[in-house]
Structure 1
């Protein structure tokens, strides 16, 4: 669960910060191995870069490389924070006397960081290639022509559903947990719940007794269910609509 929560938290932040990552990547590649003043500056500053990219490449270009960026954040931060959390929970960061050891904490943090960065490096490379892609008039650095999925592929819809699913499960899981517990609680002879009085009471009791993580139980299953469920629902809806019009005309 430490791995899952750490990774999903980083993905949630990435949804909002990826445009800045696109701007940063292009500004870092601008003027690569060229003397100052000898090249055209397409991006004068952060704000100018935002405007230029949005105007020339379109607003969607500000989220280029989002899929590998999310995967990178999930993998790197899941491993980094999850591994450190496991070391802390296992008591490896404390001395025999029970006090926190700064040396052990630093060593565990460094090892976890190295593992996350090493395993995430190939994905980071793909992300950088995609974020550097631009129209010829504002292109900087080498232009790789990667294409993750072919146009109109079901994989595009699945990736979009999985990306948007991060925000959905983060917002909805507490209510889903509460709803599950409300439906599953024992009742008296009149059908009145014996554990919870309603949705708000369920949320408050859960948070007070089990902590904030208690409100996110099952978030992994919810997330990995959401994408396929969305795609399959749309697929069956589309097929049923085709059959309906075929046999009613």
Structure 2
């Protein structure tokens, strides 16, 4: 009788969360400037629509210097420590659990796991998302209207004190919706691109890189309208619904405004996808090697 195949090695659940958060935080340090420019583009008024990605980048550097491109980095890192920790931690923990109980999951099961993990992570990370939007957008306001948060914890404390704790979850429905769209699009398109390009590139970094960039573009196109609506809801001084924001954008700015900031969003999501998974694979390798 043949020996049974040993069960796959499984990380403790808490390690999945820690390594997922670390990978996200390492990645955001690289792509934060693109995320900042994307947010500024999404908040442009009707009279500013002629400004390009390069124009806005130049304005930021001229006004605040090179370091101005990292405005809101503390909030971005805190968002990764919450959202990405929850998203990747949940997904990897679910994958490990399923493999031990039932074997390798099918693609639809992976898709459902990714969407569920994205929704959980997004809800946990919404306060950091609100702080990030406020901090990255602050520089475009007149000096007398700026909130001038000093860091993410100052932003969270002041928002809670001045506007109420529930404001930290403003746009939570939009954030969760976007996260589920992003995770679904990333998983589906990455798996398909990887399968189609495997014979061309072979297994390795090149395959992962190209597949991730394709997945990033598809994810950007699919999720950007939801992202823009989420940004406007979270940035608003008083609560407003997703439907109201959507109708306002279409009526005042046109349907194509829903894809405003397409290039900087892709410049963030594409490399962010690549870097996050490369960093995560390396961290996983270190864990399995030494622990």
1:48-197 aligned at under 5 Å gives the runs 48-91=55-98, 95=102, 98-134=103-139, 143-148=146-151
Moved more, 81-90 or 102-111: 102-111
Q: Of the candidates 13, 16, 21, which is equivalent to residue 2 of structure 1? A: 16
Q: In proportion to residue count, which structure has more helix?
A: 2
Shift of 1:107: 2.1
Larger-Rg structure: 1
Which runs of 5 or more residues in structure 2 are unaligned?
1-14, 155-283
For residues 40 and 91 of structure 1, do their structure 2 counterparts lie closer, same or farther at Cα, with a shift above 3 Å needed? closer
Question: CA separation in 2, counterparts of 1:9 and 1:52?
Answer: 30
The higher relative CO (CA closer than 8 Å, separation ≥ 6) is in: 2
Partner of 1:233: none
Shift of 1:211: 4.0
Question: CA separation in 2, counterparts of 1:145 and 1:106?
Answer: 40
Shift of 1:58: 2.0
Shift of 1:130: 0.5
1:12 is the counterpart of 2:26: yes
Question: CA separation in 2, counterparts of 1:100 and 1:94?
Answer: 10
Question: CA separation in 1, counterparts of 2:75 and 2:118?
Answer: 19
Partner of 1:236: none
Give the aligned CA root-mean-square deviation in angstroms.
2.8
Q: Which runs of 4 or more aligned residues in structure 1 lie more than 6 Å from their structure 2 counterparts after TM superposition? A: none
Number of aligned residue pairs:
146
For residues 11 and 211 of structure 1, do their structure 2 counterparts lie closer, same or farther at Cα, with a shift above 3 Å needed? closer
1:157-213 deviation digits (Å, cap 9, x = unpaired): xxxxxxxxxxxxxxxxxxxxxxxxxxxxxxxxxxxxxxxxxxxxxxxxxxxxx9443
CA contact (8 A) 1:72 1:120 kept: yes
1:25 is the counterpart of 2:25: no
Question: CA separation in 2, counterparts of 1:62 and 1:30?
Answer: 17
Partner of 1:213: 287
Shift of 1:92: 5.9
SS of the equivalent of 1:134 reads helix
Shift of 1:4: 1.0
In the superposition, the TM-score normalised over structure 2's length comes to 0.45
Which runs of 5 or more residues in structure 1 are unaligned?
151-209, 218-249
For residues 135 and 28 of structure 1, do their structure 2 counterparts lie closer, same or farther at Cα, with a shift above 3 Å needed? closer
1:37-60 deviation digits (Å, cap 9, x = unpaired): xx245x721122111101112222
